[in-house]
Structures are given as structure tokens and as C-alpha cells.
Structure 1
Amino acid sequence: MTIPPAPLDLGIAFRESREAMLVLDPDRDCVADANPAAADLLGYPDTVLRGLPASVLHPGQLPTLIVFTQAVQAKGHWWTDALTPRHGADKALRLEYAGSLLLGHPPLMLVTLADLDARRRRQVDAQADAHMRAGLSEWQRMERVFRNLERENQLILRAAGEGIYGVNAEGVTTFVNPAAERMLGWTAADLVGRDMHATVHHTHPDGAHYHHHDCPIYAAFRDGVVHQVDTEVFWRRDGRAFPVEYTSTPIRDQGQLLGAVIVFRDVGPRREADERLRQALAEVDSLRERLELENAYLKEEIRFESHHQGIIGRSPAIEATLRQIDVVAGTDATVLVTGESGTGKELIARAIHEASRRSDRPLIRVNCAAVPRELFESEFFGHAKGAFTGAVRDRVGRFELADGGTLFLDEVGEIPLDLQGKLLRVLQERSFERVGEERTRAVDVRLIAATNRDLREEVRRGRFREDLYFRLNVFPIAASPLRERPEDIPLIAQHFLKGAARRLNIAEPRLTEGDARRLSRYPWPGNVRELENVIERGAILAVRGRLHLDLPEVDLPPRGRDAVAMALPILNPLTELERRARDRSEIEGALTLAGGKVFGPGGAAELLGLRPTTLASRMKALEVDARTFRARR
């Protein structure tokens, strides 16, 4: 059994006062003392009231009680009419609390309770006396005022669909219409007579406390100005907030501000519709981006076609390749183009696409070796906004760009093993999902893949999925290196010479028969790409119209009969394993001469006449490590 605290020695004025007074101990959440007037007002025996928790005396109003006590402690005195204790366990009381700190007894505070209903009755009685003294005419005028106000209130209450409530000059709710009841979840009986701000408007959208003095609704009956707001929220009875826009209009009578009428509406559905519209516009932006990307690819195709006028050559190897292109172009079969770097694998892919029924749609090229591992899925399939850090907008993937057209996967052997399964799934199911999006998108794509690796050997070593290899190797086409078709070299060189002269804006140098023989003797480890570089460099260095060929003599085969033999067509082409062994030997020899140096002057790439990136890719495919040759130096 809890023993109530002993009464404090507050003097006879505290005990005998007709004003109800409590002494609160905020730290202990209890009533430290109460005078008889407070016990009568609150309906508790003073022995029960003394020691009763203040939060129990104010059920459901702990936040308001805390705000009041903290204000008294901070300012020394404060008042509120938002606290409504119950008379015993019966009806709620409308009281005004006026609190002040007790000197000599910190942190106790003295709270005086004033019965607002009794005060109101006294005011009404006083006004009635005044009206009676003023005569019948004044009484009739006031009756008309109240009758007019009542009629206006009824008209407002019947307004269609919008929530409407009124407050008096003290901020106390005077009426609530049915629409407001439905939106707020409170009945009119619950709200009338209460502080409306503390009930439904107490918090900003971000959760911060919303003070009465900052409320535009209450400002209307202070400054007499109409206030319109569309960036705030009201709180329902169940604790959920909803966005509102409202208008607070002051009510006047003969120049005196009596209160305000508030008309509000729930704008949540409208904002949801706006969000759906925003998403639709984002989808339109995505489609526009796709068209822009397709346009960029088409421009690239035009540039490429102006630079490479198709497949050039009359050798048996080229004629066989052209026949294969004619056979497969009319189908949608997947094509795997194999061959060394610089042999024109992309030209073969473009020729197949241009001869197919998909030629009016773009050919989308992806260099698989240049795609970072962590961006593989985004590059191929696209991503949704916010799917990962840096995804600030939706992005269309290469598969989606190629829909209805052709997707060319260059260096397909460079795709990491653990990502090959995702590519296989798309090829099998003809559908995919963007990264960060659950929507499945169907796609109609014709696939052409190219590689300079021996994929069969990669499968044997466990570095390439066998099922993906069989999916790609439906119709294989081998691109022959230049050394196996020397009769095509003069034709290709003449084509590159015309293009170089046009780009450099110079007169076209002469390609002599001696130049053609010299070009045909060179083994061209970099194939067509290396030949193009040599011709362009020769055009730049041309003197009086004479092409200046700068070929590394160390790589030239012996002259005489051996040179003539090398210029003849190769009747017994090397197997893939023999080619790899020969290429490995050439690269290892160059690395030995360069002391393991790959790039820069005197490096292996310069000795072989290759681009450093091409040599690095070939070294990776042949598993040649330059560090072993540095140790031999």
C-alpha cells in the first residue's frame, strides 16, 4: 500500500483558498500536495489526490503535461487550457492551468486550476445582466447576431466534400462537419470544446513540434487575414498523418475577431496521381533516351561504313567467307565469328546484319572486354533509378536497344565465368529484368558473337560455360589472318591509302608494285588493323607523292626464293593450335628482346607493330606473363 506524502507547510492561505491549487513534483510525476478546493474540483479525497501520479490524473495527455511542466521550469511561470483532467472517473473538466515555480522548494511547482465552464457561466450571467440593463433592443440585436451565425454555420457544414471546422478566439473548436469527421477519424462530440491544434495539427510533416504561435489557422483570428497553406499535414485519430491544403478565414462581428472557419481537403490522392504522372513522364524520358542512343549508334554505323567500305579481297578465303554470309544472313541463327585481332570480325558481323531482314533496325555493339565486372548487368540489361549508388536515372541496356535488331558481342570470351549464366538465360528465355526492377521485359534480338580465343579450349579449361558455347556456336565463321591471304593485301592497302589521303586532306600517294611486294612479304601479326596504321603513317611521311613504308625489317622473312614463296597463297593453312603456338613464340621473342617491356618505345608492342592494348589482350589469351621476361634480362 502506497503511503501518501505528508502535507507540505504552505501556509493557511493555501489551505483556505477558494481557488483550487496543486503542488506538482514533475521529476517524480506526482501530486505533492492539494488544497481542499482542488480536491472538490477534481472529485478526489485530498488523501487520495496527494501522492497520485499527475499522468494518471490526466489520462492520454502525457505529452501535453510534459510540455506544460517544462515551460514552467524554463520560464518560471506558464499557463495552458489544453489539459482536461476527469472529475474522479466521470466527466472531463475544462480547466485553465497557471503554474509557477515555488521558491525554496525546487523543483516543485504551484499550479492554480480555474474552471473554464464556471468562468464562462459567470461571463454569460454578467453579459445577460448587461443586456437586461441595456434594454430589449440590445437583446434583440444579439439574438440576430447569434441567429445569423448559426445560419452561416449550417451553410458551411453542408459544403460538399471538404472538411470544415470552426474555432473561437481562444482556439477552441466550436463545430465540425461530417466530412471533417470522416477524414480525421474523430466525432464532432470528441472535438468540440477541445484545442484543435493540439489534437490534429501539432506536428510538422518532418515530425518536428508545431507550436500554437506558428499556426496559420490561429493567426487568422489574430491578424484578421485569410491564410492558405498546402504544405502541411493533419493527424488522424489512429496516429497516421495525411497531407492537406487548407484555408483559414477569420470571422468578424462589428470589427471584432470572433474566431476562424477552416476549410481543408486531403490532397494525398492528388499527389499519388501526380506521382503516377511523374513515373509516366520518366518512362517517356526513358524511351526518348533509347531513341537518342539508337541515333548515336546509327551515327556510329554511318561513320564506320564511311571508313570501311565493306569486306575487301578476292582470295579463296574471302570468297568462302562471303558465301557463308549469304547463307546465314537470311536467317536469325546465332553466329560465332572467330579469328585473330584485327582480322575484320566486326566487318563480318555488319555484313550479316545489313543483308538480314533486321537491317532497318540498329546493330548494337558491345565490347565485352571493356565492360567492368560490376557494371556487366547494368550495361547489358539496364537499371532502374536508385538501383545502386550513382544510378540517378533509369538506363536502357544494350539488349533493349537492340530489340528488333542485332546485338554484336565482341570479345565474348572475356565475359567472367560467373556472369555467363545470366547471358545464357536471356538467350534462352528471350526476356530479362533491369537491375533494381521486377518487371520482366521481352526482347527480340539476333545475336552475333566474336572472339580471338579458342572457346573450345576455354571450355576444356573450365573458363567458359559449355552450354553457352553451344548456344553461340550455331553457325561458326572463321576470319582469316592477312598472312594466309597475301593476294588481298595490295587491294586492302590501296583502299586504306585512299581513305587516309581523304582524311588527311593530302594528294593520294602512289602505291608502287615494289610497295605491294614488300607489304605482301610482311607477316602482319596485327592483321588489317596493323596494315591500316602502316598505310596511314606512310601517307603522312610520303615524300613527293611516294609512299614511305616503315616496316620493322627484323620481322621480314628472308628475301629471294623464300620471299616469293611467302607471297604465294598458303595452300595448307595452319590449325588453330599451330597458330596459337606460333603467335606465342613471336610474342615471347619480342618480350625477350624488350626485356619484358610491353608498352612504350622499345617495347614488345612496338617491335611487333601492334597496339599495346591488342598485344595485352593477346598475351592474356595465350597466358603469357611479361614479368617472367623481366627476370631474364
Structure 2
Amino acid sequence: MSIPDTAPVAPEAIDPVFEGAPQAMLVIDPAQDRVLDANPAACRLFGYDRAALCAARVTDLHPDQRPALIVFSQAVMLKGRYWTRALSPRHATGRELKVEYVGAPFGNDGRLLLTATDLDELRRRNVDSEADFYVRGGIAEWQRVERFFRDIERENQLILSAAGEGIYGVNAEGKTTFVNPAAERMLGWSADELVGQDIHSMVHHSHADGSHYPGHDCPIYGAFRDGQIHTVANEVFWRKDGTAFWVEYTSTPIRDRGAVVGAVVVFRDVSLKREADEKLHAALEEVESLRQKLELENAYLQEEIRAESNHRGIIGTSAAIQSVLRQVELVAPTDATVLVTGESGTGKELIARAIHEASKRLDRPLIRVNCAAIPRELFESEFFGHVKGAFTGALRDRIGRFELADGGTLFLDEVGEIPLELQGKLLRVLQEGQFERVGEERTRNVDVRVIAATNRDLKTEVRRGRFREDLYFRLNVVPIESVPLRERRADLPLLAAHFLRGASRKLKTDGLRLSEGDMRRLSTYDWPGNVRELENMIERAAILARDGRLRIELPDAAGPPAKPAPPAQDITAPALLTDADRRSRDRANILAALHSCGGRVFGPNGAAALLGVKPTTLASRIKVLGISKSAADSAIAETAGN
């Protein structure tokens, strides 16, 4: 926008006016980008002394504004006088100035005279002028204005008093400037006690755990440094009585002419909300834990149902079985730890189930753990569980078998396979009923009745240093021996008939019967695989049956055939066998199986399949019986020679 032209002013006539003018004046050479002279008012406005200002470039005073300077200079030269508020020079401190420039040519050599008016100062003069106007308007007008501002202040006070949130203000030094009634009620301090004080040291001096909270870390004071709004939802304020309460607060900076001069803080007590959230979180965790526990219980129970679909009870009328059942009846009502020993396939798990089902823990699950099937590095997690992130692959919390069996029975099958370094932790939970999940410091309590089973001689394992003696005595409170099938031959007819009924249901066949000849053949065999081998053999005979006739295929026995079994009521002969006799017979049967299978243990044509036992069980039995590689090689050589 242009200003009407006036007659040019001669340089010699300007000098006294230039020096004493109250307005800032600069003489510049736009072509050379130089400040030629500046009066004292200009030095005060720009914050430079005269020498420094005269040594500066025009563009130095107006960084990044060269195009606007060119446009303004050309307009002055073209129109003779021109003004603008588009240029914003920089003060010596770097602060941006808001000015109005009026320019006019200074001589005929391209120089310009710039008069700069401080717009902030002009605005203040206008305010003072308005105040003078009101004063001149008389007392009545002044009183009206006073009432107006008083009404505004009263409304503000009413708003602060009615607010449910605590509100207080602090200045740039951290001193309290005002406190509303809600803040007084929550903090326990009166406004008179807080105003003018360092409020951080009074209500925000410590974290929730009692550790010191330095003022330079306080987000409320952070608003002074960065000029940003800070919202915090997880800290505490401290009352006058020394108690703390959880708060959510927002610290908003207060600015005056662009400078941060304080902050207003709005806060509210969220203790009840936090307590409710924690209870909800705990309830959700408990629900999730129970859900996982029920899922695992269901999975384990389904597994047990499948494993025991053929039979759930102990079958037999022999004196050996009746003795076992009497022991079961005696120990079941107690919580004593039971150690079931015996060869593989003799029904040790059935004994454990019978104890559980006759106990007061019947309504809780029987959880089975096959210790031989758990990798060494997963034993602790499998037994005691783990928390999310405890190790690589721990993607969520997991309940261990002990916790799953809480209130019920834990059956530790093949307990002799537990690594020595973990036996101490097992002993602790047996003695104290306490454990920690992997990766968690919280100690958990469980009420578990433990039944252990093994086909190893744990006394020998203790002597060899492979099993802890204290754990052995802790497990062996009530020992029960599971009798091998060859020592309870009187039960063969009942067992065979039971397995045949199960196989018939499974294969959906009718009319299969065991003849007296079949029973005589079964009685001549020593059953190294015990009841499990009998079950497998009966099922195989049912599969191979033709025209309702079973095909009983017994493995070839090494040495002379065994004598026919005595009548059902005569059980003395098998009972007279010593441990050495049984071991010798088992060794002969295994060597005979190796001889028949060419030394193979695994596979459908291996010795394990022939004996009706698991390959791992047979390998373990070979080790226990001391069958060396040379003996096995001899069996292979005999087969090759034949």
C-alpha cells in the first residue's frame, strides 16, 4: 500500500531530526545491501550499538526475507514513499520484531530512509489511549468496567469451585499461584498453605514405591521447558497426612506474549478406578488360568480315557492280585506317597488308578506323567509350568502337571528316568507342597498326592549315584509290587476273555471264543511282556481269526518248553520262583526273541513286536538284565548260521 508523495527531504536538513527522532531510522543502500547509518532509537529497537548496526547488511537484519526487501525497495523508489508490515527484522537476541516500515528516497543516488515503528509498543499506546478514554468518561464508566471484570473473576471462581477435578496453577519458578476447593479436599492442604510454596516438594516428591521423584523429571515442570501439554496417568500425589493416592493429571503451559510463564494442572483421584481395574485384571487372569487348567484337565482326561478304553479295573482272582488289592484298600484313604514297582506291562498304572478311585480325591483328576517321554530340558517346565517369555518358545503362561493335579493325584510313571539334577526340586515340592513356575518368583502352594511307578531297582540306582537317596525314601513310603503275569497264571483265562471282548467290540466281530486248547497254549508261555503282551496277542489273534477260530501265535521259546500251568487253585509253583530264576528266564526269552528276529529290536519284525512290548521298554530291560552286545551278536550269528 502506498503513501501520498511528499517533497523529498534534503540530507543536510535531516541530520538533527535524524539524531534526535524518537522513532527508529535507518539509511540503507538497497543495491549494495548495506546499512549506511542508524539513529539511537534504531539502535535501541534492534539491540545493536551504532557501529555494529552500520556494519550489518540489510539482509542480515531480515534473514530469509530478500524477496520482500526487493519488492519493498522498488516500491519506495517507484512511488516516492511506501510502507509495509510484511518485513520482520530480528533483534540482536534473535527475537523476531513486529514493525511497520515507512520508506522514502534519501537523495538521488539510490539510498533510502526507513522509519521503523514498534507495533507492540504502538499497541500498548493504543491500550493506554483507550484507558485514558475511559478515565475521561468519568467514574461511572470506570466503575462499570470494574464491575464487569469483577463479575468475570467471580464467575471464574465459581467455575473453579464447582469443578470436581483438582485444579492448581504454578508459575515458572514452580510456586503455587492458586488452588481450587476440590484440590484442597483431595490433598488435605488448604489453599493458604499451598499458595506461594513449591508444590512438587509437598505433594509430588516421591514415586508410588517411595523412591525420590526429582523435580527436573516432573512432567508438570516439563511444560515450562518444552511448552507442551503433558498428560500422565500412572503416578501418585501425597496428602498432608503422608498417604498417597493414584492420579491422572494434565499440565498445560500458560503463555504470555509467546513466553511460557507457568502451567495449570488439572488432576483427579483414580484410586478406586485403579483398584477396580486391578481386581478385574486379577479376575481375568484367574479366569484364564482356570480356563487353561480345565482345557489341560480335559485333554489329559481324554488321553486317559483313550488309554484305558479297554479296561479300567484290575482283573484277577489269584492270591497275588488279591494281596495287591488289599494293599490298595489300606493305603487309598490316606494321602501317603506310594511307590509301585514291577516289570513293564504288569499294570502299575491300573494300581495307581485303583488307589485314586478309592481315595477321597476321587472328584479331582488323576494326572499321569510319563517321565521317560519328557525331554531333559523340558522337565522343569512340564512339572511346574512356566510364564510367558521364560525361555525361547514360551509364548504364553503354561500350567505344570503339579498345579494341574492340585487337590487330586499325580502319577509319576517311570520315575527312575527323572534327571538327577531335577530330583531335588521334585523332593522339595513333595516335602513342602511349594514350587515356582519357570521364570517366576512367586511361590505357589499345591495339595497333591503322589503315586510313583518304576520298573527299575531304585535301591541299585541309589547305590550307583543315579537316584537321590532322600527322594527314594520320600517316594517309598508305601511300596506295592505289581506281580508279573507268569506269577499269576490263574488269572490268564479272565484276562484273555476280557481282552477278547474288547477286541471284538473294537473290530466289530461276533462269535470269537477261546478254546481249551488256546488256553493251554497261552499257559505254556512265560509272558515277558506281561499283561500288555497278552492284550496285544489276543487282539492280533482276533484280527487273524477265520471262521470264528482264533489264531494264537506264540513266539518261539528258547530251550525246553515250559511246563503246563497248574490248576487255577494251585498257585504255589509260580510263587516258588526266585528273583534269580525270573531274571534268568527273562534273559533267555529276550535272547530267544533276538535269535528269532536276527538281532532286530525295533520295527514290525523286531524282537519288541514279537514280545509284545515297546521297543524302549525292551531296550531298558536288555540293559537291566545285563545282556551285552556280544551276547546279542551271538544271537545274530546263530541266526545267520541257521
> What is the alpha-carbon distance in structure 2 between the residues aligned to residue 592 and residue 37 of structure 1?
116
Q: Please list the CA deviations of residues 221-275 of structure 1 after superposition, one character each: whole Å capped at 9, or x if unmatched.
A: xxxxxxxx88899999xxxxx9746699x9xxxxxxxxx9874436577446523
**1:490 and 1:519 in contact (8 A); partners too:** no
Counterpart code for 2:564: V
**1:596 and 1:627 in contact (8 A); partners too:** no
Of the three residues 512, 517, 522, the one matched with 2:520 is: 517
The answer to whether residue 504 in structure 2 is matched with residue 478 in structure 1 is no
Matched residue, 1:530? 533
Q: Which moved more, 1:542-551 or 1:563-572?
A: 563-572
Matched residue, 1:18? 44
The answer to whether residue 128 in structure 2 is matched with residue 128 in structure 1 is yes
> What is the alpha-carbon distance in structure 2 between the residues aligned to residue 122 and residue 190 of structure 1?
37
The residue correspondences of 1:177-192 to structure 2 (distance < 5 A) are 177=179
Counterpart code for 1:420: Q
Q: Please list the CA deviations of residues 142-173 of structure 1 after superposition, one character each: whole Å capped at 9, or x if unmatched.
A: 54553333223322333456243689xxxxx9
Q: Please list the CA deviations of residues 29-49 of structure 1 after superposition, one character each: whole Å capped at 9, or x if unmatched.
A: xxxxx74899xxxxxxxxxxx
The CA deviation at 1:326 is 2.7
**2:249 and 2:265 in contact (8 A); partners too:** no
Matched residue, 1:614? 617
> What is the alpha-carbon distance in structure 1 between the residues aligned to residue 333 and residue 320 of structure 2?
21
**2:523 and 2:565 in contact (8 A); partners too:** no
SS at match of 2:128: helix
Consecutive unaligned residues of structure 1, counting only runs of 5 or more, are 1-8, 22-33, 39-71, 78-97, 102-108, 168-172, 193-197, 218-228, 237-241, 251-259
The CA deviation at 1:335 is 1.8
Matched residue, 2:335? 332
> What is the alpha-carbon distance in structure 1 between the residues aligned to residue 559 and residue 592 of structure 2?
15
SS at match of 1:337: strand
SS at match of 1:519: helix
> What is the alpha-carbon distance in structure 1 between the residues aligned to residue 328 and residue 218 of structure 2?
78
The residue correspondences of 1:445-594 to structure 2 (distance < 5 A) are 445-552=448-555, 554-555=556-557, 558=560, 562-564=562-564, 570-576=573-579, 578-580=581-583, 582-584=585-587, 586-587=589-590, 590-591=593-594, 594=597
> What is the alpha-carbon distance in structure 1 between the residues aligned to residue 225 and residue 147 of structure 2?
38
Matched residue, 2:436? 433
Q: Please list the CA deviations of residues 478-498 of structure 1 after superposition, one character each: whole Å capped at 9, or x if unmatched.
A: 111112222222210100111
Distance 1:573 1:406, change over 3 A: farther
Distance 1:162 1:627, change over 3 A: farther
> What is the alpha-carbon distance in structure 2 between the residues aligned to residue 439 and residue 615 of structure 1?
42
Matched residue, 1:443? 446
> What is the alpha-carbon distance in structure 2 between the residues aligned to residue 210 and residue 616 of structure 1?
76
Matched residue, 1:104? none
The CA deviation at 1:453 is 0.4
Of the three residues 78, 94, 111, the one matched with 2:94 is: 111
Counterpart code for 1:434: R
The CA deviation at 1:200 is 4.2
> What is the alpha-carbon distance in structure 2 between the residues aligned to residue 457 and residue 263 of structure 1?
75
SS at match of 2:500: helix
Distance 1:564 1:112, change over 3 A: closer
Of the three residues 159, 179, 196, the one matched with 1:156 is: 159
Consecutive unaligned residues of structure 2, counting only runs of 5 or more, are 1-33, 53-59, 66-87, 99-117, 200-216, 239-245, 255-262, 638-642
The residue correspondences of 1:280-359 to structure 2 (distance < 5 A) are 280-294=283-297, 296-297=299-300, 307-359=310-362
> What is the alpha-carbon distance in structure 1 between the residues aligned to residue 626 and residue 378 of structure 2?
25
> What is the alpha-carbon distance in structure 1 between the residues aligned to residue 39 and residue 394 of structure 2?
70
> What is the alpha-carbon distance in structure 2 between the residues aligned to residue 536 and residue 138 of structure 1?
114
**1:409 and 1:449 in contact (8 A); partners too:** yes
Distance 1:380 1:304, change over 3 A: same
Aligned-residue sequence identity (percent) comes to 59
> What is the alpha-carbon distance in structure 2 between the residues aligned to residue 145 and residue 416 of structure 1?
87
**2:46 and 2:90 in contact (8 A); partners too:** no
The residue correspondences of 1:164-175 to structure 2 (distance < 5 A) are 164=167
Matched residue, 1:598? 601
The CA deviation at 1:347 is 1.0
The CA deviation at 1:462 is 1.0
Distance 1:189 1:577, change over 3 A: farther
Aligned alpha-carbon RMSD (Å) = 5.1
**1:20 and 1:36 in contact (8 A); partners too:** no
SS at match of 2:379: helix
Q: Please list the CA deviations of residues 121-140 of structure 1 after superposition, one character each: whole Å capped at 9, or x if unmatched.
A: 76444223135447569866
> What is the alpha-carbon distance in structure 1 between the residues aligned to residue 411 and residue 50 of structure 2?
94
> What is the alpha-carbon distance in structure 2 between the residues aligned to residue 359 and residue 235 of structure 1?
53
Distance 1:14 1:300, change over 3 A: farther
Q: Please list the CA deviations of residues 411-443 of structure 1 after superposition, one character each: whole Å capped at 9, or x if unmatched.
A: 111111111112222222233333344444443
TM-score by length of 1: 0.65
Distance 1:557 1:515, change over 3 A: farther
**1:521 and 1:556 in contact (8 A); partners too:** no
Q: Which moved more, 1:580-589 or 1:329-338?
A: 580-589
Q: Please list the CA deviations of residues 286-344 of structure 1 after superposition, one character each: whole Å capped at 9, or x if unmatched.
A: 23443454455555566666531411122222222222223333433322111111100
> What is the alpha-carbon distance in structure 2 between the residues aligned to residue 278 and residue 422 of structure 1?
31
Distance 1:121 1:161, change over 3 A: farther
Distance 1:549 1:417, change over 3 A: same
**2:39 and 2:50 in contact (8 A); partners too:** no
Q: Which moved more, 1:562-571 or 1:416-425?
A: 562-571
**1:497 and 1:508 in contact (8 A); partners too:** no
TM-score by length of 2: 0.64
